Chains A and B, each alone.
Chain A
Amino acid sequence: MGWFEPKTEKSAVPPAKAIWAICPKCNSHFSKAQWKKNDSICPKCNYHGRLSARERIARMADEGSFEELSPEISYSDHLKFRDAAGDYRSKVEAAMKKTGEKESVVTGRCTIGGFKSVLGVMDFSFMGGSLGTGAGEKITVAAETALAERRALIIFSASGGARMHEGILSLMQMAKTSAAIQRLKAAGLPFISVLTDPTTGGVSASYAMLGDVNITEPRALIGFAGRRVIENTIRQKLPEDFQSAEYLLKHGFIDRVVARSEMKGFIVKLLDLFGVSK
C-alpha cells in the first residue's frame, strides 16, 4: 500500500445495513426483525425480497419430503481462472462457506401438495446465482430425473446469468438445460418456472423463460440485458417499471404475478390441473 492512499477510517457507528433492512426498491428502512416477520416482503411497496434456497424449499416442499439430488456436485475450475481480485477457486469457496451450499442451485425430489415433483431453487447469495457447469448439471439432472420418474419440474430462478469464470462451458449450460427441459415437456410433463428477483441474462434466456407456466413475485426484476447497458445503447431513459414483474406480465411473458403467501397453493392447483400423479 502506498503512503499516499487515503486511509479508510473505521466508523464507530455500524453501517445502516447492520441494523436496518433496506428495501432495494423503495428504499424504506425497517428493523431486521420486522422485515423477517413479514417474510422478507417490503411492508411498504410489497417488493418480495430474496430468500435462500433452503428457505424456499421449506415453503414449497411437503414437510419431510425433500430428498436432495446430486448434492455432491459443485463448481469446476477448468480454466484455472484468475482476475484482478484473485482466483476463482477462492471466490467460489468463500461463497460455499457463506451459504453452506456447494452450488448456486439446490435440487431434489419432493411432493408438493402430495404431487410428485422435482424442485430446484437457485440461491442468489451464491455468486449472484450464476449458472456454471455445476448448476447447469444439477438442473439437467433434475429435468432428467423428473422425466424418468414422471414427476413435474418446478424451478425457482434467481440469477444474474452465466458464470463467466467458467467461460464457454457456462454459456453451453444454457443449451444443455434447455435441451433437457425440451425433452421433459415433449413427454407431457409440466415445467413450472418461477422467476424470482432477480432473473436476468443467461438464466432468463434459457430455462427460466421456458416454463409451461411462467410465474413471478411482485416487483421482481426480470430481463435479458442490464438496464444501464440498454440506456447506454439507446441513449434514453427507460420507464421506471422497465423489466419489472408487472411490466413483463403486461407484455405477455409471464402468466401470473403471485404473492409469496399464495405461491404454494397456486402451484398445487396447477399440478392438479395438469394431471401430475400423486
Chain B
Amino acid sequence: MNAMDKVKIARDPRRPHFNEFAKFVCDDFEELHGDRLVNDDRGLVGGVAKIGDFRCVVLGHNKGATVEENMASNFGMACPDGYRKAMRLASLAERFHMPVVTFVDTPGAYPGREAEERGQAEAIAKSLEFFSALKTPVVVVVTGEGGSGGALAIAVGDKILMLENAVYSVISPEGCAGILWRDGSKAPEAAEALKITATDLLALGAIDEVVPEPKGGAHKNVKSACLKIKRAVIAKLKELTKLPVEELVQKRYDKFVAMGRFN
C-alpha cells in the first residue's frame, strides 16, 4: 500500500470519527460547549468523560459521516473559537487533575474570512504554547487526517499515538503537489516524498506508537478499532499519571525540543 492509498483510507467517511470515540473509547462522555467569547465551534468539540478508570477531558476534531453532518462541522476544520474552547476545557483538566485525551482528524484549520478576523494564527499559536506547559498528562491519538497546524494545535502531548492507516503532514499532498510540482494531480508523488504514514513518522520520531487497525481498516470494524484505541490510551494514561507533574512537563518539553535538534 503506498502513501496515497493511506491518504484515501484516512479520509474514508466510514472511518470512526469523534462521535464513535465518544461512544466506544469513552465510557461516559458529556459534551461541554463554547469558548466563552463568541461561539461554539462545531469543527472541534470536547467534554468530560471516563475512559476505563480515568476521569478525562476529551477533545477532538469533529468530522461527520454524511455531507449534512460535515456541513454542520466544517468537515472537522476548526475555527479559532474551537481552539479557544479546547484550551478552556484543558484548563479544567489541569484544575481538576484529569488527563487530557485528544483525537486528531482534520484536513486543516478552517480557511475563512471570520476565522482570520478572529485570529486563526493567534489561536493556533496560543494553543501550542498552552499545551506545551499544561500541568496534566496529555495523550494524543491521530485517527485520520493530521492536517498541518490545525492538527498540531491539539497534538502537543506527552504521548502521540497514531492509527495504522492515519496520515499526518505539514501540508496536504494536493497542496504540496500544487506548489512544488505545479500540478495537483501529482499528489501521490508528493504524499510519498513527504513521508506521512504512521510507520514513517514513527521512524522520524514524530510519534510514539502505531495503533493497529482491524483487518481492512478501522471502517471495517468500528467497535473493534475503538477498543484497540481505548486499550492503547489506557496503557499510556497509567504510565503518565504515575509521573510527578514537573517531570511530566519537563519530559514533554524535551520531547518536542528534540525534534530536529542539531548537535
How near does chain A come to B247, taking the closest CB pair, in angstroms?
A: 16
Contact for B125 among A176, A205, A223, CB less than 8 A: A205
Contact B193 A202 (CB under 8 A): no
Residues 124-141 (chain B) with a chain A CB within 8 angstroms: 124-126, 128-130, 132-133
Q: Which of A27-35, A48-56, A132-140 contacts B (4 or more CB under 8 A)?
A: A132-140
- How many residue pairs link A and B with beta carbons under 8 A? The number is 185
Q: Which of A7-15, A16-24, A230-238 contacts B (4 or more CB under 8 A)?
A: A230-238
Q: Does any Cβ of B come within 8 Å of A118's Cβ?
A: no
Contact for A174 among B152, B176, B189, CB less than 8 A: B152
Contact A84 B132 (CB under 8 A): no
Contact B204 A169 (CB under 8 A): yes
Q: Does any Cβ of A come within 8 Å of B242's Cβ?
A: no
Count chain B residues whose beta carbon lies closer than 8 angstroms to a beta carbon of A.
Answer: 54
Closest residue of chain B to A79, judged by CB? B195
Contacts of A174 in B (CB 8 A): 124-125, 128, 149, 152
Contact B125 A167 (CB under 8 A): no
- Give the distance in Å from the alpha carbon of A140 to the alpha carbon of B259 in the complex: 11
Q: Does any Cβ of B come within 8 Å of A251's Cβ?
A: yes
Q: Does any Cβ of B come within 8 Å of A168's Cβ?
A: yes
Contact for A76 among B115, B122, B190, B262, CB less than 8 A: B262
Contacts of B116 in A (CB 8 A): 223-225, 230, 242-243
How near does chain B come to A244, taking the closest CB pair, in angstroms?
A: 11
Q: Does any Cβ of A come within 8 Å of B28's Cβ?
A: no
Q: Does any Cβ of B come within 8 Å of A82's Cβ?
A: yes
Q: Does any Cβ of A come within 8 Å of B253's Cβ?
A: yes
Q: Does any Cβ of B come within 8 Å of A124's Cβ?
A: no
Most chain B beta-carbon contacts within 10 A, residue among A73, A202, A229: A202
Closest residue of chain A to B153, judged by CB? A205
Q: Does any Cβ of A come within 8 Å of B168's Cβ?
A: yes
Contact A224 B260 (CB under 8 A): no
- Give the distance in Å from the alpha carbon of A180 to the alpha carbon of B129 in the complex: 9
Q: Which of B41-49, B50-58, B60-68, B106-114 contacts A (4 or more CB under 8 A)?
A: B106-114
Contact A179 B119 (CB under 8 A): no
How near does chain A come to B190, taking the closest CB pair, in angstroms?
A: 8
- Give the distance in Å from the alpha carbon of A204 to the alpha carbon of B121 in the complex: 6
- Give the distance in Å from the alpha carbon of A242 to the alpha carbon of B132 in the complex: 31
Contact B170 A162 (CB under 8 A): yes
Contacts of A137 in B (CB 8 A): 260-262
How near does chain B come to A80, taking the closest CB pair, in angstroms?
A: 9
- Give the distance in Å from the alpha carbon of A252 to the alpha carbon of B116 in the complex: 12
Contact A223 B121 (CB under 8 A): yes
Contact B109 A175 (CB under 8 A): no
How near does chain B come to A265, taking the closest CB pair, in angstroms?
A: 26
Q: Which of A93-101, A109-117, A207-215, A270-278 contacts B (4 or more CB under 8 A)?
A: A207-215
Residues 113-156 (chain A) with a chain B CB within 8 angstroms: 132-134, 136-137, 140
Contact B193 A210 (CB under 8 A): no
B174-193 to A contact mask, C-beta < 8 Å, 1/0: 00100111110010011001
Q: Does any Cβ of B come within 8 Å of A81's Cβ?
A: yes
Most chain B beta-carbon contacts within 10 A, residue among A162, A168, A181, A222: A168
Q: Does any Cβ of B come within 8 Å of A1's Cβ?
A: no
Contact for B148 among A171, A178, A181, A230, CB less than 8 A: A171
* With known contacts A85-B180, A168-B204, A134–B262 Cβ distance under 8 A: yes
Contact B195 A209 (CB under 8 A): no
Contact A224 B152 (CB under 8 A): no
Most chain A beta-carbon contacts within 10 A, residue among B171, B182, B186: B171
Contact B256 A83 (CB under 8 A): no
Contact A140 B257 (CB under 8 A): yes
Contact for B193 among A83, A85, A176, A182, CB less than 8 A: A83
Contact B257 A176 (CB under 8 A): yes
* With known contacts A171-B170, A210-B129, A84–B176 Cβ distance under 8 A: no
Contact A172 B259 (CB under 8 A): yes
Contact B256 A179 (CB under 8 A): yes
Q: Which 10 A-B pairs have the closest CB atoms?
A: A133-B260, A225-B111, A179-B132, A178-B128, A204-B121, A83-B180, A209-B125, A205-B124, A224-B121, A171-B170
7 contacts across the A-B interface (CB closer than 8 A)? A79-B193, A79-B195, A167-B194, A176-B256, A201-B149, A205-B120, A205-B149
**A76-B260, A162-B149, A251-B119 provided; 8 other pairs, C-beta below 8 A?**
A164-B180, A167-B196, A169-B259, A206-B124, A222-B121, A223-B116, A225-B112, A230-B113
